[in-house]
Amino acid sequence: MKAIVLLSGGIDSTVVLAMAKAAGRECIALSFDYGQKHAVELEHAKEIAQHYSVPQKIIQISPACFEKTSLVNEIEAPKNRTAHEIADGGIPSTYVPARNTLFLAYAAGQAEILNANEIHCGPNLLDRNPYPDCRPEFYTAFQQLLSFATKQGAEGCPPRIVTPLIDWDKNRIVEEARKLNAPLEKTFSCYSPDQGAACGACDACVLREEALR
């Protein structure tokens, strides 16, 4: 079985890659450069792909596609929020319009090019309320799309979308990382890095540090 694994360089996608490798999948890491202010994550994704000896492709997407998000524009990402405020605070400025739709579309294209059977990605339980494109129904709908919109689907074998973390919180994800000896020290999770260093206050940093503790 061959799997496309969406790899950002963060904990979630690294655990997804570790799980796919543990399940015996032949993996290809797929990362995206879309002008994100935290583009340093791509360097970490490269290190993680090398750690697992998997090939990596980086897809370039114009930042113009994602202008209305604090991950690209000059608006500052939310900071110093509690995990509860992050989960129940509505859709934040770090929401990137249609990002996961585009990411999965590119992954579907790579699946056809490389004849891959699966697409693995890492939405988790805490993403569900803040980000509409991290909800189970989104992935269910996209799976149905793959059945009709691809050559693989027309031939009766669309790639299967695999979301192993979708019902897990960060604590459970970190537990799995340690169980699989995933290289957490190589991961990076920050929306507002300063010269490559994590800010320690954005939502991604707060959730990461809480889970690691």
Q: Give residue limits of the domains in the chain.
A: 2-212
Instruction: For residue range 15-59, list pLDDT tens digits in order.
Output: 999 999 999 999 999 999 999 999 999 999 999 999 999 999 999
pTM for the model: 0.95
DSSP line for the chain: -EEEEE--SSHHHHHHHHHHHHTT-EEEEEEEES--TTTTHHHHHHHHHHHTT--EEEEE--GGGG-SSTTTSSSPPPBS--HHHHHHS-S-TT--TTHHHHHHHHHHHHHHHHT-SEEE----GGGTTT-GGGSHHHHHHHHHHHHHHSHHHHTT-PPEEE-TTTT--HHHHHHHHHHTT--GGG----SS-BTTB--S-BHHHHHHHHHH-
- Arithmetic mean of pLDDT, 204-212: 93
Query: Which CATH number is correct for 2-212, 3.30.1130.10, 2.30.40.10, 3.30.300.30, 3.40.50.620?
Result: 3.40.50.620
